[in-house]
Copies of this chain bind each other. A is one copy, B any other.
Amino acid sequence: MQTKRANKYGFCFGVKRAIKLAEQNKNATTIGPLIHNQKEIDRLKVDFGVNVETNIGAIEGDSSVIIRTHGIPKNDLKELKNRNVNIIDATCPFVTKPQKICEEMSKEGYEIIIFGDENHPEVKGVVSYCTSPCQVVLEKEQIKNIHTHSKITLISQTTKNVSKFLEIANYLIENCYEVRIFNTICNATFENQESVKILAQEADIIIVVGGKQSSNTKQLLNIALQYCKDSYCIEDEKELQKEWFSGKKLCGITAGASTPNWIIDNVENIIKEF
Protein backbone atom coordinates (compact mmCIF):
# COMPACT_ATOMS: atom_id res chain seq x y z
CA MET A 1 0.00 0.00 0.00
CA GLN A 2 1.33 3.42 -1.00
CA THR A 3 1.15 6.12 1.69
CA LYS A 4 1.25 9.92 1.61
CA ARG A 5 1.26 12.26 4.58
CA ALA A 6 -0.68 15.51 4.59
CA ASN A 7 1.42 18.59 3.87
CA LYS A 8 0.86 19.72 7.48
CA TYR A 9 -0.17 17.38 10.29
CA GLY A 10 0.34 16.62 13.98
CA PHE A 11 2.45 18.75 16.28
CA CYS A 12 2.80 22.44 15.73
CA PHE A 13 6.11 24.27 16.00
CA GLY A 14 5.51 25.20 19.68
CA VAL A 15 4.78 21.63 20.80
CA LYS A 16 7.77 20.22 18.91
CA ARG A 17 9.99 22.82 20.60
CA ALA A 18 8.59 21.98 24.07
CA ILE A 19 9.24 18.25 23.63
CA LYS A 20 12.79 18.95 22.45
CA LEU A 21 13.37 21.08 25.57
CA ALA A 22 11.98 18.27 27.77
CA GLU A 23 14.30 15.74 26.13
CA GLN A 24 17.25 18.10 26.63
CA ASN A 25 16.48 18.58 30.36
CA LYS A 26 16.41 15.11 31.91
CA ASN A 27 14.58 14.69 35.25
CA ALA A 28 12.89 18.09 34.96
CA THR A 29 9.31 18.65 36.14
CA THR A 30 6.56 20.03 33.93
CA ILE A 31 3.76 22.06 35.54
CA GLY A 32 0.80 20.03 34.32
CA PRO A 33 1.12 17.50 31.48
CA LEU A 34 3.32 18.89 28.68
CA ILE A 35 0.83 17.90 25.98
CA HIS A 36 -2.53 16.10 25.94
CA ASN A 37 -1.17 12.73 24.88
CA GLN A 38 -0.55 10.22 27.66
CA LYS A 39 1.65 7.94 25.54
CA GLU A 40 4.07 10.81 24.89
CA ILE A 41 4.03 11.85 28.58
CA ASP A 42 4.86 8.20 29.46
CA ARG A 43 7.71 8.16 26.95
CA LEU A 44 9.22 11.36 28.34
CA LYS A 45 8.94 9.88 31.86
CA VAL A 46 10.57 6.53 30.92
CA ASP A 47 13.25 7.81 28.53
CA PHE A 48 14.06 11.21 30.06
CA GLY A 49 12.78 11.08 33.66
CA VAL A 50 10.42 14.02 33.03
CA ASN A 51 7.87 14.32 35.88
CA VAL A 52 4.48 16.02 35.99
CA GLU A 53 3.40 18.25 38.88
CA THR A 54 0.22 20.32 38.87
CA ASN A 55 0.74 22.10 42.20
CA ILE A 56 3.35 24.87 42.09
CA GLY A 57 3.55 24.79 45.90
CA ALA A 58 4.92 21.24 45.68
CA ILE A 59 7.88 22.23 43.46
CA GLU A 60 11.14 21.92 45.39
CA GLY A 61 13.86 24.58 45.24
CA ASP A 62 16.84 23.94 42.94
CA SER A 63 14.76 21.64 40.76
CA SER A 64 14.33 22.19 37.01
CA VAL A 65 10.83 23.20 35.92
CA ILE A 66 9.47 23.26 32.37
CA ILE A 67 6.81 25.90 31.59
CA ARG A 68 4.26 24.46 29.15
CA THR A 69 3.60 25.85 25.65
CA HIS A 70 0.57 27.91 26.74
CA GLY A 71 2.51 29.68 29.49
CA ILE A 72 1.57 30.37 33.11
CA PRO A 73 0.28 33.45 34.98
CA LYS A 74 2.88 36.09 35.84
CA ASN A 75 2.55 35.55 39.60
CA ASP A 76 3.11 31.79 39.30
CA LEU A 77 6.29 32.51 37.35
CA LYS A 78 7.33 35.00 40.03
CA GLU A 79 6.73 32.42 42.76
CA LEU A 80 8.87 29.87 40.92
CA LYS A 81 11.66 32.42 40.54
CA ASN A 82 11.46 33.23 44.27
CA ARG A 83 11.97 29.54 45.03
CA ASN A 84 15.23 29.62 43.14
CA VAL A 85 14.00 27.07 40.65
CA ASN A 86 15.81 26.47 37.34
CA ILE A 87 13.17 27.55 34.84
CA ILE A 88 13.05 26.07 31.34
CA ASP A 89 10.58 28.21 29.47
CA ALA A 90 8.80 26.17 26.80
CA THR A 91 6.09 28.81 26.41
CA CYS A 92 5.35 28.94 22.69
CA PRO A 93 6.79 32.14 21.18
CA PHE A 94 3.34 32.72 19.66
CA VAL A 95 2.02 32.90 23.24
CA THR A 96 4.89 34.99 24.64
CA LYS A 97 4.00 37.67 22.08
CA PRO A 98 0.45 38.39 23.33
CA GLN A 99 1.81 38.36 26.90
CA LYS A 100 4.31 41.08 25.96
CA ILE A 101 1.70 43.02 23.99
CA CYS A 102 -0.58 43.09 27.06
CA GLU A 103 2.26 44.29 29.27
CA GLU A 104 3.34 47.07 26.87
CA MET A 105 -0.11 48.23 25.78
CA SER A 106 -1.26 48.42 29.42
CA LYS A 107 1.69 50.72 30.13
CA GLU A 108 0.68 52.91 27.17
CA GLY A 109 -2.83 53.27 28.59
CA TYR A 110 -4.74 51.00 26.23
CA GLU A 111 -7.71 48.96 27.39
CA ILE A 112 -7.17 45.35 26.33
CA ILE A 113 -9.74 43.11 24.67
CA ILE A 114 -8.80 39.46 24.27
CA PHE A 115 -10.80 37.27 21.91
CA GLY A 116 -10.67 33.90 23.65
CA ASP A 117 -11.93 31.56 26.35
CA GLU A 118 -11.31 33.01 29.81
CA ASN A 119 -10.85 29.53 31.30
CA HIS A 120 -8.12 28.49 28.88
CA PRO A 121 -4.67 28.32 30.53
CA GLU A 122 -3.10 30.35 27.70
CA VAL A 123 -5.64 33.16 28.19
CA LYS A 124 -5.23 33.09 31.99
CA GLY A 125 -1.51 33.55 31.45
CA VAL A 126 -1.93 36.38 28.94
CA VAL A 127 -4.50 38.21 31.09
CA SER A 128 -2.07 38.18 34.02
CA TYR A 129 0.19 40.59 32.09
CA CYS A 130 -2.54 43.28 31.81
CA THR A 131 -2.32 46.16 34.25
CA SER A 132 -5.05 48.22 32.53
CA PRO A 133 -8.75 47.24 32.21
CA CYS A 134 -9.03 43.94 30.32
CA GLN A 135 -11.98 42.02 28.89
CA VAL A 136 -11.97 38.44 27.60
CA VAL A 137 -14.79 37.85 25.11
CA LEU A 138 -15.97 35.20 22.66
CA GLU A 139 -18.59 37.41 20.98
CA LYS A 140 -18.75 41.13 20.21
CA GLU A 141 -22.01 41.26 22.20
CA GLN A 142 -20.00 40.59 25.37
CA ILE A 143 -17.92 43.77 25.03
CA LYS A 144 -18.81 46.33 27.69
CA ASN A 145 -18.03 49.94 28.56
CA ILE A 146 -16.39 51.07 25.35
CA HIS A 147 -16.98 54.50 23.86
CA THR A 148 -15.83 56.65 20.93
CA HIS A 149 -12.68 57.81 22.69
CA SER A 150 -11.61 54.44 24.10
CA LYS A 151 -8.07 53.46 23.17
CA ILE A 152 -8.35 49.75 22.57
CA THR A 153 -5.82 47.01 21.90
CA LEU A 154 -7.30 43.81 20.49
CA ILE A 155 -5.53 40.44 20.50
CA SER A 156 -6.64 36.84 20.13
CA GLN A 157 -6.06 33.50 21.81
CA THR A 158 -3.64 31.78 19.40
CA THR A 159 -5.99 28.92 18.44
CA LYS A 160 -9.11 30.95 17.66
CA ASN A 161 -10.48 31.44 14.16
CA VAL A 162 -9.91 34.58 12.17
CA SER A 163 -13.47 35.24 10.93
CA LYS A 164 -14.82 35.73 14.46
CA PHE A 165 -11.75 37.82 15.31
CA LEU A 166 -12.54 40.14 12.37
CA GLU A 167 -16.17 40.45 13.54
CA ILE A 168 -14.96 41.74 16.90
CA ALA A 169 -12.35 43.97 15.23
CA ASN A 170 -15.01 45.51 12.96
CA TYR A 171 -17.32 46.20 15.88
CA LEU A 172 -14.50 48.01 17.69
CA ILE A 173 -13.39 49.98 14.60
CA GLU A 174 -16.94 51.22 14.10
CA ASN A 175 -17.36 52.22 17.73
CA CYS A 176 -13.95 53.43 18.92
CA TYR A 177 -11.61 56.09 17.56
CA GLU A 178 -8.42 54.06 17.90
CA VAL A 179 -8.09 50.28 17.77
CA ARG A 180 -4.69 48.68 17.76
CA ILE A 181 -5.01 45.17 16.44
CA PHE A 182 -2.39 42.48 16.80
CA ASN A 183 -3.19 39.35 14.86
CA THR A 184 -1.91 36.78 17.36
CA ILE A 185 -3.74 33.86 15.76
CA CYS A 186 -1.51 30.89 14.96
CA ASN A 187 -2.52 29.11 11.80
CA ALA A 188 -1.16 25.64 12.68
CA THR A 189 -4.58 24.05 13.39
CA PHE A 190 -6.11 25.51 10.24
CA GLU A 191 -3.11 24.51 8.15
CA ASN A 192 -3.63 20.87 9.24
CA GLN A 193 -7.28 21.16 8.21
CA GLU A 194 -6.48 22.72 4.85
CA SER A 195 -3.88 20.01 4.18
CA VAL A 196 -6.18 17.05 4.89
CA LYS A 197 -8.82 18.60 2.65
CA ILE A 198 -6.38 18.53 -0.28
CA LEU A 199 -5.06 15.05 0.55
CA ALA A 200 -8.56 13.54 0.91
CA GLN A 201 -9.38 14.52 -2.67
CA GLU A 202 -6.39 12.53 -3.91
CA ALA A 203 -6.33 9.46 -1.62
CA ASP A 204 -8.49 6.29 -1.67
CA ILE A 205 -8.47 6.03 2.13
CA ILE A 206 -7.56 8.48 4.92
CA ILE A 207 -6.17 7.52 8.34
CA VAL A 208 -6.39 10.21 11.01
CA VAL A 209 -4.13 9.43 14.00
CA GLY A 210 -5.28 11.10 17.22
CA GLY A 211 -7.29 10.92 20.43
CA LYS A 212 -10.96 9.99 19.92
CA GLN A 213 -11.88 12.76 22.40
CA SER A 214 -9.62 15.39 20.81
CA SER A 215 -11.71 18.09 19.19
CA ASN A 216 -9.13 19.01 16.54
CA THR A 217 -8.74 15.30 15.60
CA LYS A 218 -12.53 15.00 15.18
CA GLN A 219 -12.47 18.06 12.92
CA LEU A 220 -9.76 16.48 10.76
CA LEU A 221 -11.86 13.30 10.39
CA ASN A 222 -14.98 15.28 9.48
CA ILE A 223 -13.13 17.22 6.79
CA ALA A 224 -11.59 14.00 5.43
CA LEU A 225 -15.02 12.31 5.27
CA GLN A 226 -16.36 15.14 3.11
CA TYR A 227 -13.90 14.25 0.35
CA CYS A 228 -13.12 10.57 1.00
CA LYS A 229 -15.82 8.32 2.46
CA ASP A 230 -13.22 5.73 3.54
CA SER A 231 -11.73 7.83 6.34
CA TYR A 232 -10.97 6.41 9.79
CA CYS A 233 -9.70 7.72 13.12
CA ILE A 234 -7.29 5.59 15.22
CA GLU A 235 -5.29 6.26 18.37
CA ASP A 236 -2.39 3.98 17.38
CA GLU A 237 -1.39 1.21 14.96
CA LYS A 238 -3.20 -1.49 17.00
CA GLU A 239 -6.56 -0.15 15.81
CA LEU A 240 -5.78 -0.57 12.09
CA GLN A 241 -8.05 -3.10 10.28
CA LYS A 242 -6.60 -4.76 7.19
CA GLU A 243 -9.94 -5.02 5.37
CA TRP A 244 -10.26 -1.18 5.20
CA PHE A 245 -7.40 -1.19 2.70
CA SER A 246 -8.61 -3.91 0.33
CA GLY A 247 -8.74 -2.63 -3.26
CA LYS A 248 -7.21 0.75 -2.28
CA LYS A 249 -4.03 2.17 -3.82
CA LEU A 250 -3.15 5.37 -1.96
CA CYS A 251 -3.55 5.86 1.79
CA GLY A 252 -3.42 9.46 3.05
CA ILE A 253 -2.23 9.99 6.63
CA THR A 254 -2.76 12.94 8.94
CA ALA A 255 -2.66 13.42 12.73
CA GLY A 256 -4.17 15.56 15.48
CA ALA A 257 -2.17 18.32 17.14
CA SER A 258 -1.26 16.13 20.15
CA THR A 259 -0.02 13.10 18.22
CA PRO A 260 3.74 12.52 18.33
CA ASN A 261 5.59 11.57 15.17
CA TRP A 262 6.72 8.17 16.47
CA ILE A 263 3.10 6.99 16.76
CA ILE A 264 2.45 8.25 13.19
CA ASP A 265 5.63 6.38 12.04
CA ASN A 266 4.39 3.13 13.63
CA VAL A 267 1.05 3.53 11.87
CA GLU A 268 2.63 4.29 8.50
CA ASN A 269 5.01 1.32 8.71
CA ILE A 270 2.14 -1.13 9.25
CA ILE A 271 0.06 0.37 6.43
CA LYS A 272 2.98 0.12 3.99
CA GLU A 273 3.11 -3.63 4.63
CA PHE A 274 -0.56 -4.16 3.67
Residues of A that sit less than 8 Å from B by CB: 162, 165-166, 169-170, 173-174, 176-183
Contacts and interface: CB of A to CB of B under 8 A. Distances in A.
A180 B177 CA distance: 11
Nearest to A97: B177
17 contacts: A162-B174, A166-B170, A166-B173, A166-B174, A169-B169, A169-B173, A170-B170, A173-B183, A174-B183, A176-B183, A177-B182, A177-B183, A178-B180, A178-B181, A179-B180, A179-B183, A180-B181
A7 to B, nearest CB: 19
Contacts of A170: 166, 169-170
A173 B181 contact: yes
Nearest to A148: B183
Contacts of A180: 178-181
A176 B162 CA distance: 13
A180 B183 CA distance: 11
A162 B174 CA distance: 8
A170 B171 CA distance: 12
Contacts of A177: 182-183
A85 to B, nearest CB: 33
A170 B183 CA distance: 11
A181 B170 CA distance: 10
Contacts of A166: 170, 173-174
Contacts of A174: 162, 166, 183
A166 B173 CA distance: 8
A148 to B, nearest CB: 9
A178 B110 CA distance: 15
A170 B179 CA distance: 13
Residue from the set A165, A166, A182, A183 with the largest chain B CB neighbour count within 10 Å = A183
Q: Kindly list the 9 A-B residue pairs having the minimum CB-CB distance in the complex, ordered from nearest.
A: A180-B180, A179-B181, A166-B170, A178-B182, A173-B181, A173-B183, A169-B173, A177-B183, A162-B174
Residue from the set A162, A173, A177, A179 with the largest chain B CB neighbour count within 10 Å = A173
